[in-house]
């Protein structure tokens, strides 16, 4: 059992302010991206993680240089929390040559080796098996590195989840499996897709620790992940963390999410908004003032605007270069 | 004749077959309240209930396997794999099981199964959601492969697919769902292995299928303004393939362009080229021209995306080259 107060006590005020900044940065980045999508500047699929930001933020608060991140289609938050450059992310969403994938991947395929981000993924569950290999590398490197593997409730029903957890447990790999249970896989409620009540309890099947936590609270996420980190870095093998959460928008920008009741959406928005709740918490704890929060907001607004300007001003990828690469 | 969308035509075929045969049922991801990711199944959950419209977790290999199991035990499932890119996760069940059971049973056991899926480029959804993988299925003996280009063909062929002893891989194109075309009110089916000439001509035969039919028709129209007459052959089913109709057309025109959105290496297009060359070599006035996708994953950027698959102009240029 994670003792939250101990974990929280270990967190400096500076770290908590970092968390708040990252929460707001992810929120603002995606709000902007949605507007740009609607304005026709971005196309393809764009899956916002708004409402779920506390999971990547809490988790990445516990990582060190050398750790790896495996993301999925709803991955902007993972990238930003792990340190990716939002200018290059925005440029990628615009399909520009300065983007993380040189404009070839778009929103769903950002990969940033500098920050250990082994890639988002358009295939549900597609990243989960990679965790075994990254975990093996961490183990063989003997530097105490850990792999964080993020995925959704939907992905946890795929065979790869079970194969990978079994193998990681068997080989005692330093991998932390973080299931972001936002209660839906597109329209499918996890009540209708997961045969047990809590995905976190599936850890029993592999003899590894399972944590079931409130994914709207970055401190709680940090607590569970840092506990799993200690175990993993000490050679104790993987853990499974189920973070209960909610996505405030549809599955992607074109999904009106008619399958959810407005009452349900309102409930989560009004009680489980990680940005609102964490601001309140830090204000109550007098870690920051309202003026301090405003400064952060202003700073991040500028940062997002700069990222958009960078993306807009960046050149398109060279067609000739692309064609030249294709040898036959 | 009334005009309806491709997606409507598919849905009508499903409804007619489900109404007339209680063994037909649907299984796949997001096919319930969501109505399928291209809204082909909108309203079917209400009409048939969850016992015949089975919405599953994300588990492609088991969706395919479940459909095979049901097909072996008296039902006629129509399984949906949301994108052809995700059929890769179901390949074991499709290739090692669905395609083999009839053969391995000495011909005694059928697998009356349809797998509906969609592929293709054109919506900026990048490398893992834009592929054309028909060659994978075309390559495996034991599977039938259907790729309709019009609402009329989609409806008639899907009805045949559901009645067929299978297994049938039914591949739609994401750009075609909103395309309208004439579909009669009266019931009809289209037999497998019967190509259709989508436009008659004398100078060049263009073999194309799925969304490339639309581009080929445009190219032919443009070429006709330059006095070049193209005959467009749509096989409609790649397996079985109506090679005779194609060969006859090539014997008439003496020239062949094979158009495919899929990348050229190891493609259906290169196989067609080889087969026609074998059968009609002495009739060919020019080498067969393949106009196919580039051998690259599909990029996100719209300019690169467009460049990676054949466009109308590429077909026109190819025609000019072999004349
Ligand atoms: C193998 C595969 N099957 C289906 C899809 C289509 N698809 C994309 S996201 C998604 C739902 C994923 O749900 P979950 O894992 O819970 O993540 P969430 O979207 O809720 O964050 C589906 C079915 C896909 N991309 N890949």
Q: Domain containing A71 — which CATH number? A: 3.40.50.970
A41-77 pLDDT, tens digit per residue, is 999 999 999 999 999 999 999 999 999 999 999 999 9
Q: Is A323 on the interface with B (CB under 8 A)?
A: yes
- For A37, the token pair is 């999508």
For the complex shown, is ipTM > 0.90? Answer: yes
pTM of the full structure: 0.97
B82-104 pLDDT, tens digit per residue, is 999 999 999 999 999 999 999 99
- Other beta carbons within 10 Å of B278: 10
The residue ranges of DSSP E strands in chain B, in sequence order, are 3-5, 24-28, 53-55, 76-81, 114-119, 144-146, 168-173, 180-182, 196-199, 204-207, 230-234, 237-239, 256-263, 289-293
Residue A67 makes CB contacts below 8 A (sequence gap 6+) with A116, A138, A145, A146, A147, A148
Q: Is the dihedral of CA A32, A33, A34, A38 positive or negative?
A: positive
Per cent of chain A over pLDDT 90 is 96
Report the candidate in A47, A23, A51 with the shortest Cα–Cα distance to residue A247. A51
SS3 of residue B132 by DSSP: coil
Query: Does residue A238 lie in a domain region?
Result: yes
Query: Under an 8 A CB cutoff, do B304 and A125 touch?
Result: no
- Start and end residues for every CATH 3.40.50.920 domain found in chain B: 196-322
Residues B62 and B97: beta-carbon distance below 8 Å = no
Query: Does residue A68 lie in a domain region?
Result: yes
Query: Under an 8 A CB cutoff, do B32 and A187 touch?
Result: yes
CA B286 – CA B281 distance, rounded (Å) = 10
Query: Does residue A320 lie in a domain region?
Result: no
Question: Which helix (H) or strand (E) is A180 found in, with range?
Answer: strand A175-181
DSSP B144-191: EEE---SHHHHHHHHHHHHHSSS-EEEEEETTTTT-EEE--SS-----
Calculate mean pLDDT across residues A231-258. Answer: 97
User: What superfamily would CATH give domain B3-182?
Assistant: Thiamin diphosphate (ThDP)-binding fold, Pyr/PP domains (3.40.50.970)
Q: Is B174 on the interface with A (CB under 8 A)?
A: no
- Whether B270 shows a pLDDT value over 80: the answer reads yes
Query: Does residue A318 lie in a domain region?
Result: no
- Whether A8 shows a pLDDT value over 90: the answer reads no
Of the residues A97, A99, A104, the best mutation for testing chain B's interface (the one with the most B CB atoms within 10 Å of its CB) is: A104
Residues A107 and A45: beta-carbon distance below 8 Å = yes
- CATH number assigned to the domain covering B196-322: 3.40.50.920
pLDDT of residue A10: 83
Is A153 close to ligand 1, i.e. is its CB under 6 Å away? Answer: yes
Report the candidate in B162, B158, B144, B60 with the shortest Cα–Cα distance to residue B102. B144
- For B52, the token pair is 């015949």
Report the candidate in A119, A211, A131 with the shortest Cα–Cα distance to residue A168. A131
Is B29 close to ligand 1, i.e. is its CB under 6 Å away? Answer: yes
pLDDT band at B122 (very low <50, low <70, confident <90, very high): confident
Q: How many domains does chain A have?
A: 1
- Other beta carbons within 10 Å of A283: 14
Residues A238 and A177: beta-carbon distance below 8 Å = yes
Query: Does residue A327 lie in a domain region?
Result: no
pLDDT of residue A128: 98
B165-216 pLDDT, tens digit per residue, is 999 999 999 999 999 999 999 999 999 999 999 999 999 999 999 999 999 9
Count CA atoms closer than 13 A to B266's CA, side-chain side. Answer: 11
Nearest Cα of chain B lies from the Cα of A182 at a distance, in angstroms, of: 15
Query: Does residue A319 lie in a domain region?
Result: no
- For A8, the token pair is 């929280």
B142-167 pLDDT, tens digit per residue, is 999 999 999 999 999 999 999 999 99
pLDDT band at A20 (very low <50, low <70, confident <90, very high): very high
- Whether A4 shows a pLDDT value over 80: the answer reads no
Omega before residue B167 within 30° of 0, cis: yes
CA B121 – CA B123 distance, rounded (Å) = 6
List, as ranges, residues 232-251 from A with C-beta within 8 Å of B: none
Query: Under an 8 A CB cutoff, do A103 and B304 touch?
Result: yes
- Whether A2 shows a pLDDT value over 70: the answer reads no
- A10 or A133: which leads in pLDDT: A133
Nearest Cα of chain B lies from the Cα of A172 at a distance, in angstroms, of: 26
Query: Does residue A313 lie in a domain region?
Result: no
pLDDT of residue A1: 53
The residue ranges of DSSP E strands in A85-129, in sequence order, are none
Nearest Cα of chain B lies from the Cα of A52 at a distance, in angstroms, of: 21
Query: Under an 8 A CB cutoff, do B300 and A154 touch?
Result: no
Query: Does residue A222 lie in a domain region?
Result: yes
- Other beta carbons within 10 Å of B35: 19
- Look up the domain containing A46 and give its range: 4-308
- Start and end residues for every CATH 3.40.50.970 domain found in chain B: 3-182
- Whether A98 shows a pLDDT value over 70: the answer reads yes
Q: Is B8 on the interface with A (CB under 8 A)?
A: no
């Amino acid at each position: 059992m994670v003792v939250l107060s101990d974990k929280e006590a270990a967190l400096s005020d500076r770290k908590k302010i970092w968390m708040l900044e990252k929460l707001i940065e992810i929120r603002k980045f995606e709000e902007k991206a949605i507007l740009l999508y609607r304005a026709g500047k971005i196309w393809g699929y764009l899956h916002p993680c708004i409402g779920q930001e506390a999971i990547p933020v809490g988790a990445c608060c516990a990582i060190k240089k050398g750790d790896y991140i495996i993301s999925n289609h709803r991955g902007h938050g993972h990238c930003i929390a792990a340190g990716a450059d939002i200018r290059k992310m925005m440029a990628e969403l615009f399909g520009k040559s300065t983007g993380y994938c040189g404009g070839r991947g778009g929103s769903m395929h950002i990969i940033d080796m500098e920050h250990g981000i082994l890639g988002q993924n358009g295939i549900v569950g597609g990243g989960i098996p990679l965790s075994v290999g990254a975990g093996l590398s961490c183990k063989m490197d003997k530097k105490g590195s850990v792999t964080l593997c993020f995925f959704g409730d939907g992905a946890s029903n795929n065979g790869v989840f079970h194969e990978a957890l079994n193998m990681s447990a068997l080989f005692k790999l330093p991998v932390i499996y973080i299931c972001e249970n936002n209660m839906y896989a597109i329209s499918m409620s996890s009540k209708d897709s997961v045969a047990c009540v809590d995905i976190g309890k599936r850890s029993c099947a592999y003899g590894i620790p399972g944590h079931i936590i409130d994914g709207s609270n970055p401190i709680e996420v940090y607590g569970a992940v840092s506990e799993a980190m200690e175990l993993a870095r000490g050679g104790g093998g993987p853990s499974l963390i189920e973070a209960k959460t909610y996505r405030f928008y549809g599955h992607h920008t074109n999904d009106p999410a008619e399958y959810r009741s407005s009452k349900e959406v309102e409930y989560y928005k009004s009680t489980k908004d990680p940005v609102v709740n964490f601001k309140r918490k830090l204000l109550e704890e007098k870690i920051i003032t309202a003026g301090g929060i405003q400064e952060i907001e202003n700073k991040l607004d500028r940062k997002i605007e700069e990222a958009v300007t960078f993306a807009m001003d960046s050149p398109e990828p060279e067609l000739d270069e692309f064609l030249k690469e294709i040898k036959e | 004749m009334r005009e309806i969308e491709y997606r409507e035509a598919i849905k009508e075929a499903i409804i007619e077959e489900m109404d007339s045969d209680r063994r037909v049922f649907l299984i796949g991801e997001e096919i319930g309240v969501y109505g399928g990711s291209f809204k082909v199944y909108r309203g079917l959950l209400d009409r048939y209930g969850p016992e015949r419209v089975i919405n599953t977790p994300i588990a492609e290999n088991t969706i395919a396997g479940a459909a095979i199991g049901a097909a072996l035990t008296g039902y006629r499932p129509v399984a949906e794999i949301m994108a052809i890119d995700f059929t890769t996760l179901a390949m074991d069940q499709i290739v090692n099981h669905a395609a083999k059971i009839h053969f391995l049973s000495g011909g005694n056991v059928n697998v009356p199964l349809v797998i509906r899926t969609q592929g293709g480029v054109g919506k900026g959804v990048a490398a893992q959601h834009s592929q054309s993988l028909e060659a994978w299925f075309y390559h495996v003996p034991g599977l039938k492969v259907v790729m309709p280009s019009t609402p009329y063909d989609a409806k008639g062929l899907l009805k045949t697919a559901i009645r067929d002893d299978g297994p049938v891989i039914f591949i739609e194109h994401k750009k075609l769902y909103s395309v309208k075309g004439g579909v009669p009110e009266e019931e009809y089916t289209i037999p497998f292995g019967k190509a259709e000439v989508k436009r008659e001509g004398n100078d060049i035969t263009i073999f194309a299928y799925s969304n490339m039919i639309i581009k080929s028709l445009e190219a032919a129209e443009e070429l006709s303004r330059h006095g070049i007459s193209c005959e467009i052959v749509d096989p409609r089913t790649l397996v079985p393939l109506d090679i005779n109709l194609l060969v006859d057309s090539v014997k008439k025109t003496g020239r062949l362009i094979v158009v495919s959105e899929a990348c050229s290496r190891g493609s259906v297009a290169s196989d067609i080229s080889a087969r026609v060359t074998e059968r009609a070599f002495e009739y060919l006035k020019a080498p067969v021209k393949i106009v196919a996708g580039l051998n690259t994953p599909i990029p996100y950027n719209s300019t690169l995306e467009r460049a990676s698959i054949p466009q109308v102009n590429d077909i026109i240029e190819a025609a000019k080259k072999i004349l």
